[in-house]
Amino acid sequence: MTAAATRRLPLPGTYNVRDAGGYATAGGGAVRTGLLIRADGLADLDDEGRARLAALGVRTVIDLREAVELEIAPDALGDLPITYRHLPAFAGLDAAERPTSLAEAYDLMVDQCGDALAGIVGALAEPDALPAVVHCTAGKDRTGTVIAIVHALLGVSAADIEHDYALTAENLSTGFADKIRATMPPGEHTDAMLKDMLDCPPELIRATLARIGDVETYLLAHGLDPAAITRLRAALIA
């Protein structure tokens, strides 16, 4: 069984849901499992999928997508007693500055959306927020950056952060591109755009974290309460 398969949480209507726990942290600890879940879109959840989400004990869903994405494919949470938070990862991005490559999109997120990223981490640290699902459309770029930041904050090694990021490529290879082609207007997504949606080169998240520098310093500089970092570490490190 592949590494992606062993970490994956089967959820009908999704492709890339997995537990972000289980990784060793500096000092001999480990990220607790069952508390931080990363995911792709939840618009296609059916009753079985919602039942499985409930069985995971999820209390919070943090949706990192833009408003237009929500209009097209809102999360299908139904009547689940889950707190839904819409916290766009690209909030603060200059609308006139559109990235021309995947790497540039990551750079702009780091450079212009620090307040948004700090707010997302802060939401995870709120009392009773966990277990939480963090997701975007593919669960790769925005979700991958947030999870990498949290992992770095917890002391997960760079190698494990890159490994976790790269697992997405395997999960998205199981029909996700076909789903995008089927749900978007003809010509909306070129093969090059789809390749960007599926590629997860470890060097990309490595460069992103290098651009951030010390993640704690970065988050504090963008308004995160130091107490939130203390709470998050206490909650997620075993």
Distance CA 173, CA 178 (A): 9
> Can you give the pLDDT at residue 187?
57
Residue 185 has pLDDT above 70, yes or no: no
Q: What is the mean pLDDT of residues 212-226?
A: 98
DSSP letter at 59 equals -
**1 pLDDT band (50/70/90 cuts)?**
very low
DSSP characters for 33-47? TTSEEEES--TT--H
> Can you give the pLDDT at residue 219?
98
- In the CATH hierarchy, which fold is given to the domain comprising 3-236? Protein-Tyrosine Phosphatase; Chain A (3.90.190)
> Can you give the pLDDT at residue 172?
77
- Strand, coil or helix: 155: coil
- Burial class of residue 68, CB neighbours in 10 A (0-12, 13-18, 19+): exposed
Residue 109 has pLDDT above 80, yes or no: yes
Q: What is the mean pLDDT of residues 211-227?
A: 98
Residue 211 has pLDDT above 90, yes or no: yes
Which helix (H) or strand (E) segment holds residue 83: the answer is: strand 83-86
Which strands form 36-39's sheet, in the order they lie side by side? 18-19, 36-39, 132-135, 60-63, 83-86
> Can you give the pLDDT at residue 191?
65
Is the separation of the CB atoms in 45 and 76 below 8 Å? yes
Distances (CA, A) of 181 to 30, 65, 123, 193, 214: 39, 19, 33, 11, 39
Q: What is the mean pLDDT of residues 123-127?
A: 97
* Out of 143-152, 184-193, 194-203, least confident range: 184-193
Q: What is the mean pLDDT of residues 75-96?
A: 94
Could you tell me which of 168, 159, 218, 202 has the C-alpha nearest to residue 23?
Answer: 159
pLDDT in tens, 18-29: 999 999 999 899
Predicted TM-score (pTM) of this structure: 0.92
